[in-house]
Amino acid sequence: MNTFLDHQKWRYATKKFDASKKITTEDLNTLKEAIRLSSSSYGLQLYKVFIIDNPEIRAQLQPAAWGQSQITEASHLFVFANQTTIDQDDINGYLKNAEQTRNLPEGTLNAYGDFMKSKLIPLAEDSKKVWTAKQTYLALANLINAAAELKIDTTPMEGFDPVQFNAILGLDKLNLNAAVVAAVGYRHKDDDTQHYTKVRKSNNELFITL
């Protein structure tokens, strides 16, 4: 745990990346697996993660992200896109996967599926979008923490126009919405932010024990 905390103290929201440094395939696969293993409400994972390496696409996205340099200078850009709908097929697909993965007889999880459907399907469409968007942040946290363990830098970003991102990436056609973005790579030696002391609330301010 001490090592984990040391890595958390090391990481920061990188302002300037070294564009000459690329994440290795092995490390990229580790980051993808960390995202895949992330917690998700009901285990549904109602989102897609776009890993954008193509410099032309990233150049298109940069103006829609207030011109921030991390979009084009980082090794990779991760776009977490939540589903804008939830239907029975989503839940049925999860149940089938769970039963096959755990070698359970077909139909074993039907009662659990009915429970999920009773909670999620009746939600208003806007509530569904909000709920699925929240799930992407759980996956984002896993990416940030796994990257820190590998001494890979990240910048979680909400400073972008989702409508423009959706149009550029064709997310609307897939019933997806760009919820949050992470630039991932290696800090530039000239990024002064890496030397700033981390500012956080004290334990007394942050925690309440009842």
Helix H or strand E segment including 153: strand 153-157
Strand 47-52 to 76-83 pairing:
antiparallel
For the chain, the domain total comes to 2
Instruction: Specify whether 109 is located in the same domain as 154.
Output: no
What whole-number distance in Å separates Cα of residue 197 and Cα of residue 12?
A: 10
- Is residue 208 included in any domain, yes or no? no
What whole-number distance in Å separates Cα of residue 27 and Cα of residue 30?
A: 5
Instruction: Specify whether 95 is located in the same domain as 171.
Output: no
Question: pLDDT at position 99, please?
Answer: 98
Question: pLDDT at position 2, please?
Answer: 80
Over residues 183-205, the pLDDT tens digits come to 999 999 999 999 999 999 999 99
The boundaries of the domain holding residue 103 are 87-122
Instruction: Specify whether 100 is located in the same domain as 154.
Output: no
Mean pLDDT for 51-74 is 98
Instruction: Specify whether 132 is located in the same domain as 64.
Output: yes
Is residue 1 pLDDT above 80, yes or no? no
- Is residue 198 included in any domain, yes or no? no
- Is residue 159 included in any domain, yes or no? yes
- Is residue 46 included in any domain, yes or no? yes
